[in-house]
Structure 1
Amino acid sequence: MSGSDAILARLMALHPKIIDLSLDRMHRILSALGNPQDRLPPVVHIAGTNGKGSTLAMIRAGLEARGERVHAYTSPHLARFHERIRLAGDLVGEDALSALLDECETANGGRPITFFEITTAAAFLAFSRVPADHALLEVGLGGRLDATNVVTPKLSVITPVSIDHQQYLGDTLPEIAGEKAGILKRGVHCIVGPQDDAALEVIEARAARLGAPLLAHGQHWHVTTERGRLVFQDDTGLLDLALPVLPGAHQVTNAGIALAALRQLGADDATCQAALRDAIWPARMQRLTRGPVVDAAPAAEIYLDGGHNPAAGIAIAATLGALPRRPTHLVCGMLATKDVEGFLRPLAGHAISLTAVPIPGEANTLSAAETAAAAARVSLPALTADTARDAVRLIAAHSPQARILICGSLYLAGRILQENG
């Protein structure tokens, strides 16, 4: 166990709940640290249900292409915690991370604080000390009471809002949109991705109260595809660009949000094209080409996706539908807090079978039997296996050249990436 791993394990024990939405503890520790959140480079703050990470990755790629130094804070990590904190382009190093976490642990003095809150404080501390041109902050959960919502950004972004995390954010779309819209700040422009009318009304009402100018999809900017190209238009003019390197039709929407943000930040056409061309975001219809999982089915076509809610299921189904025809099998592990049937229902028409697995090391995992039962309820023939690699091996035994999609959870995706090197 590394030095940072040992500290992270201690930090996990500082609060009885993994999630406890409040800003009181965050303000307390930031005050003890000298309020580093007030000394960040210009911030782009990104909330939403789906597409936050991909949108951030494209914004970062564009800004870096024009020579900027960019901090980025994202969650959860896939293989290593260090992925969450990117300092001026580079992942935080082990020694630096250990020192930051130790400083935050000391400042906290053993008082109750969630893991996300104290590690967010560590990120702000790092960002305040390393020069950069922008800091990109991805909201962890919701927005209004999220630990990142202690900054006044240069620009806010809200990606599409849908139903997820109801136990924390509310049961209806307007309630959830209200939590996401909590990142809006007085006078700060906000890029708004495509929204259901019920969500957009809530966002618009809060923006009006705050005097926060909105740049909304369908009103102030538009994005579509024409003849295999991405076409984006806003008041500045029209962009005709190569499609995003990140796969899937839903990435066109994310690209539009990123382009709208970049244009607001003064990006030129070359910067916008680089945003789509150079973005890297693992576990989003990522093709696996090496490692033990691939070795278990060498003739198969294996993909990995961390999507886990109904909107993600729809997006993944559209991506599968656009791929060349090939027998497709799912390997799926999910958390008990998710709408499993809602995620699987759109996928049922694109897959021959589902092999359910538990998520290793996750207390909240559904059992393989529970996930398989949910698949059966949406008419998707289901089996169970102990591990994802076993599931891939089972599928390859009777369909060697199958397309296999491992999906259902970012935590499962992270374990696959760890195991696969």
Structure 2
Amino acid sequence: MITGLDHYKEKWNIASDTSIKPGLDAIKQALQELGNPHENHQFIHIAGTNGKGSTAAFIAAILMQHGKSVGNFFSPAIEDVHDQIQIDREPATEADFEAAFEQLSKVQTPLTDFELLTAAAFLIFYRRKPDFIIIEAGMGGRFDSTNVIDPLISVIPSISLEHTNFLGSTIAEITWHKAGIIKKGKPLAIGKLPEEAEKVICTTAEKMSSEILKSKDLFEGELKMKGQHQKANADLALLVAENILENQFKEHLGILGLSEATLAFRFEEVYPDVIFDGAHNEASVDALVETVRKIYPDREIHIVMGLLKDKDHGAILRKLETISDHFTFLKFENERALPAQILFSKSSSKIKTILNDCDILPVSSKNEVTIVTGSLYLLAILRKRNYSMFEHYRPD
């Protein structure tokens, strides 16, 4: 479910499939009907399990500090479909979407919702013409609808088990999908990957004559996005920006960009002692647990969460239960949502409850830090419905 997409589909009488259908034939045919708006741009393509959005935000911030205009295609939405497509970190406007969907209404090729949004992104970028465009793959990479571009550089921040029903049950199988974004003769920048993943990456890169660039421990400053994993993403972004800017790159502008970059739902303090973090798989939950222990070593923690059905909820619960004995499980509106009752029954927490209403964020008055985590779709709903609570709060 892509929040806000139906408004434009209904207005322009466009039918698209809500299911996930990996493959490039439909999107290629639709883009050809549109005059191939995805060609002749300076793209950066990012795939991977965790860190895609943060790395994209870091790269954009560095490029903007160098005076470049930057397009971003994020997934999923924070509030609605407009913020998935951004120019200089500002959401695409209704006018941008109206112009794109007027063109899309003439396309004859049937598309899925995500393919439709991908095509809209290319049309908006074609119209707005940013200097660089950073594209985040939706799922996998090889057969993701974003994989029709010819990027300056491909980027893979991390790889771990995810979407096993689509991508395979082993690291090697999942890496094969991610490695599909590697393009012939174009460099690939990677973060710290499992040995099994790096073997697949190296084999693919060799076949594609692609140079592998490995991030180094370069950034020494403070980040607004908290956690050791964000420093790794910042290091990778610095490497990417230096590669594509070449002799235009200025280290002090790179450092400034990284230090100012932000992204919603990445250990984001939305209200005093209320943190939104979109950790939704084992690797990202490990990073969340490590960050909570470092920042709040002596505080009690209240976990508010909801997950999608394809996540290993048992393993995620066990990890989160190492930092908290107080859980609230939320029911939320998404056809892929895991029933809150399942999380409740699998939890061994001493204090646990189910809440069917996302209109009120369950924040305790006790001396607790509330960590809201799990599905990014849940966090988007909570942000929208509790906006009045957050709108005037700005953390130091």
Same structural fold, with TM-score higher than 0.5 when normalized by the shorter chain: yes
Contact 2:188 2:211 in 1 (8 A): yes
- Distance in 2 of aligned mates of 1:121 and 1:392: 38
- Cα separation, partners in 2 of 1:11 and 1:115, compared to 1, 3 Å: farther
Query: Alpha carbons of 1:11 and 1:251: their partners in 2 closer, same or farther (altered >3 Å)?
Result: farther
Q: Please list, as runs of the form range in 1=range in 2, the aligned pairs for 1:222-371 lying within 5 A after superposition.
A: 222-223=216-217, 232=218, 241-265=220-244, 266=246, 267-289=249-271, 301-324=273-296, 325-359=298-332, 361-371=333-343
How far is 1:364 from its partner? 1.8
**In the alignment, is the contact (CA less than 8 A) between 1:354 and 1:383 conserved in 2?**
yes
Over aligned residues, Cα RMSD in angstroms?
A: 2.1
Task: Find the counterpart in structure 2 of residue 131 from structure 1.
Answer: 129
Name 1:21's counterpart in structure 2.
22
Hey, what's the Cα distance between the residues in 2 that align with 1:203 and 1:178?
A: 8
Deviation at 1:123, TM superposition (A): 0.8
For 2:38, what is the secondary structure of its paired residue?
helix
Counterpart secondary structure, 1:157: strand
- Cα distance in 1 between the residues matched to 2:184 and 2:84: 28
1:33-81 deviations in whole A, cap 9, x for unaligned? 00111132x1111110000000000000010011111111111102111
Q: Gaps (5+ residues) in structure 2? A: 388-396
- Give the equivalent residue in structure 1 for 2:207: 209
- TM-score, normalised relative to structure 1: 0.86
Amino acid at match of 1:316: L
Amino acid at match of 1:406: V
- Which shows bigger deviation, 191-200 or 346-355? 346-355
> Unaligned 5+ residue runs, structure 1?
224-231, 233-239, 290-299
Residue 142 (structure 2) aligns with: 144
**Larger deviation, residues 23-32 vs 324-333:** 324-333
Q: Deviations over 1:138-195 (max 9, x none)?
A: 1111000111111111011011100011111111100000100000001100101100
Whether the 8 Å contact between 2:64 and 2:88 is mirrored in structure 1 is no
SS at match of 1:331: strand
Give, in angstroms, the shift of residue 5 of structure 1.
Answer: 4.5
Aligned-partner Cα distance in 2 for 1:24–1:7: 24
What is the count of residue pairs matched by the alignment? 381
- The answer to whether residue 170 in structure 2 is matched with residue 172 in structure 1 is yes
Cα deviation for residue 387 of structure 1 reads 2.8
Structure 1 position 316, deviation (Å): 0.4
The C-alpha deviation readout for 1:297-328, integer Å capped at 9, x for no partner, is xxx61111112110111010001110131110
Distance 1:202 1:391 in 2: 43
Q: Separation in 2 of the partners of 1:403 and 1:176?
A: 35
- For structure 1, which segment, 383-392 or 27-36, has the greater mean C-alpha deviation from structure 2 after superposition? 383-392
8 Å CA contact 2:360–2:386 kept in 1: the answer is no
Q: CA contact under 8 A between 1:23 and 1:147: conserved in structure 2?
A: yes
The 1:330/1:69 distance shift into structure 2, 3 A limit, reads same
Structure-2 change in CA distance of 1:11 and 1:384 (3 Å): farther
Q: Quick check: 2:69–2:130 contact (8 Å CA) kept in 1?
A: yes
- Choose from 364, 373, 378 the match for 1:412: 378
Q: Distance in 2 between matches of 1:190 and 1:335?
A: 31
Residue 385 (str. 1) matches residue 364 (str. 2)? no
State, as a whole percentage, how many aligned pairs show the same letter: 30
With over 3 angstroms needed to count, the CA separation of the structure-2 counterparts of 1:401 and 1:11, relative to structure 1, is: farther
Equivalence for 1:105:
105
2: CA distance between counterparts of 1:389 and 1:301?
Answer: 19
User: CA-to-partner distance for each residue in 1:317-369, whole Å, 9 max, x for gaps?
Assistant: 0011101311101011111121112222222111121111112x212212221
TM-score (norm 2): 0.91
Is the CA contact (8 Å cut-off) linking 2:44 and 2:152 kept in structure 1?
yes
CA distance in 2, matches of 1:22, 1:358: 32
Distance across 2 between alignment mates of 1:50 and 1:36: 29
Q: Secondary structure at the match of 1:369?
A: helix
> Structure 1 residue 275: deviation in Å?
2.7
User: What residue is the counterpart of 2:36 in the other structure?
Assistant: 35
8 A contact 2:12–2:102 mirrored in 1: no
Whole-angstrom CA distance in 1 between matches of 2:251 and 2:220: 9
Once the 2 structures are TM-superposed, how far is the Cα of residue 241 of structure 1 from its aligned partner?
2.9
Kept in 2, the 8 Å contact 1:329–1:353? The answer is yes
Give 1:418's aligned amino acid: K
